[in-house]
Chain A
């Protein structure tokens, strides 16, 4: 493992920003830290970089404990959300700043700055002032500056957060290409679930300073571990209830007994069901189906989102694909159902 975090805790006054967090990152891996505000994801990044000291726990980089090292002595680099470009230095001087601190000779420095700028598609921008660049160009300068020292590990704090929506997707692809090209491990903090899923080899979901789920994007999306993950990623429906002891799950909100494909632990109190896994039926006459009234319809471009009220009182989010024709009217009664495998028992 390149980076290994063991039992990391950090308290700010009364709030526990990190709560006995364990995490390991492999060399060359792209990991995203996903969480809402106050989840501890930015604190975690700052603890790894050395700007905050952990109260307890270990940070091992290639087996070496980083805790006693100040930020400037840690062999990793960070890209800041605000980019933090030095406004009094040119683009080239910004990028060569770290090399200069390492005592790299001037001709070598110039060569590597050129290389780094070329890598992010900014050849010939070395002489400009960062303040005269567009947001996207500034983002690339920050990236070049963080990568020019060839770190084994790069920390990125919301690197796409300040970009326009249309630039984000393209820059995301470029980010991943750069990561593959340099072979560095990337740890990226984001609150955007689509970004986290699209870019990462593995997604780590944080809540209240704790790591609640870790895994490949598809696994985390398809098999959310907790109510929080289920709701945060893709807005899954969380169906409350109790196992009936015969392989079913009583859900009073829907007024039916759910039949999941997998065994349900006895202490399970909720199941997740993704909106896009729910399909229209002619009649709700088979297991895993119900009748409901459409309370509202929202058009979202590639699909529509229905809010459907079940007879038991639960309100479900239901996806309606465009190719299925026009969505049902508000107030109409519809029958809905899903495959058994779409139901995911949640741990908490």
Chain B
């Protein structure tokens, strides 16, 4: 077999392994049958059921809100961590700070969830805030985890940028704040965007930590789906997955188009 053929075979196997389950899942969303893995003819019935399921729609909206807030907070916190680690030189406790900032990357979700729960309970009894556990506590928990990822991304990006760039800006008359705004920030922007997207995805995805720190008021989409699983699956879940897949695809396409546009613009400048 030629090398090109072999490559094609492996590519097909790899892609199939990744995407077959997803495509199956999406395909059965259009099945009329109640049982999610039994074909009962083409139908859009489960999309209708999905749209009518208020709890699921509500959970999805909550998830999006939480993910948006958590990702934004994570980028602000993590971006600062990463910048401090990459640019503020050696300071007392730098190694410990670096290790602590990245700790959520390696701690099991169960541990983080439990720790945060205890922390929130303590805060509540001591300060009276947060008044109840729900969207706010989930958002804070997800921001904590997301910040660790954002810090790593930002630090890595800054490490590959020469510090002389900022010095050159200073030399040409920029105050430290202006140098940061006009040189450092634009150059670390891609890592901030990547950190935001990663934190957003992690938040949308998380069941474990959210289950720990949530109260009766806050049920995110993954929590809702997980609880539905216990009552037996319907193709409604497939329909939901299909919608998420579609939204994800649109977002990805938008991101790629945006990136291509940016590249064209910098070339035309």
Contacts and interface: CB of A to CB of B under 8 A. Distances in A.
Interface of A: 49-51, 70-72, 77-78, 80, 82, 84-90, 93, 97-98, 101-102, 127, 129, 145-146, 149
A85 B267 CA distance: 16
A88 B172 contact: no
A88 B173 contact: no
Contacts of A98: 172-173
Contacts of A93: 269
Interface in B77-127: none
A102 B173 contact: yes
Interface string B163-201: 011011111111110110011001100000000000000
Given A80-B164, A84-B164, A90 B171 contact: no
B167 A149 contact: no
Contacts of B187: 86-88
A228 B175 CA distance: 41
Which residue among A71, A80, A90 has the maximum number of chain B CB atoms within 10 Å of its CB? A71
Contact of A101 (B172, B176, B186, B269): B172
B18 interface: no
Interface string B201-229: 00000000000000000000000000000
A207 B10 CA distance: 61
B162 interface: yes
Nearest to B186: A88
Contact of A72 (B162, B164, B173, B266): B173
A82 B164 contact: yes
B172 A145 contact: yes
Contacts of A146: 171
B187 to A, nearest CB: 6
A80 B170 contact: no
Contacts of A85: 168
B165 A101 contact: no
A47 to B, nearest CB: 13
A97 B167 contact: no
A74 to B, nearest CB: 8
Nearest to B179: A72
Contacts of A71: 167, 170-171
B167 A80 contact: yes
Interface residues of B, number: 23
A313 B245 CA distance: 84
Which residue among A72, A77, A89, A102 has the maximum number of chain B CB atoms within 10 Å of its CB? A72
Interface of B: 162, 164-165, 167-176, 178-179, 182-183, 186-187, 266-269
B87 to A, nearest CB: 14
A93 B266 CA distance: 11
A51 B167 contact: yes
A221 B187 CA distance: 46
A49 B169 contact: no
A77 B164 contact: no
A97 B176 CA distance: 14
A70 B172 contact: no
Contact of B168 (A80, A88, A90, A149): A80
Given A93-B269, A129-B266, A84 B175 contact: no
Given A82-B164, A88-B187, A77 B269 contact: no
Nearest to B163: A84
Nearest to B178: A101
Nearest to B185: A88
A129 to B, nearest CB: 6
Contact of B183 (A51, A82, A86, A129): A86
Contact of B269 (A50, A97, A129): A129
A70 B167 CA distance: 11
A101 B175 CA distance: 9
Given A88-B183, A102-B173, 20 more contacts: A51-B170, A70-B175, A70-B176, A71-B171, A72-B172, A78-B168, A80-B167, A82-B162, A82-B164, A84-B168, A86-B165, A86-B187, A87-B187, A97-B172, A98-B172, A101-B172, A101-B174, A127-B268, A127-B269, A129-B266
B266 A49 contact: no
Given A88-B187, A88-B266, A127-B269, A72 B167 contact: no
Contacts of B169: 86, 97
Which residue among A87, A146, A149 has the maximum number of chain B CB atoms within 10 Å of its CB? A87
Nearest to B182: A97
Contacts of A87: 187
A48 to B, nearest CB: 11
A184 B162 CA distance: 27
8 contacts: A72-B172, A72-B175, A77-B172, A86-B168, A86-B183, A86-B187, A98-B172, A102-B173
Contacts of B167: 49, 51, 71, 80, 84
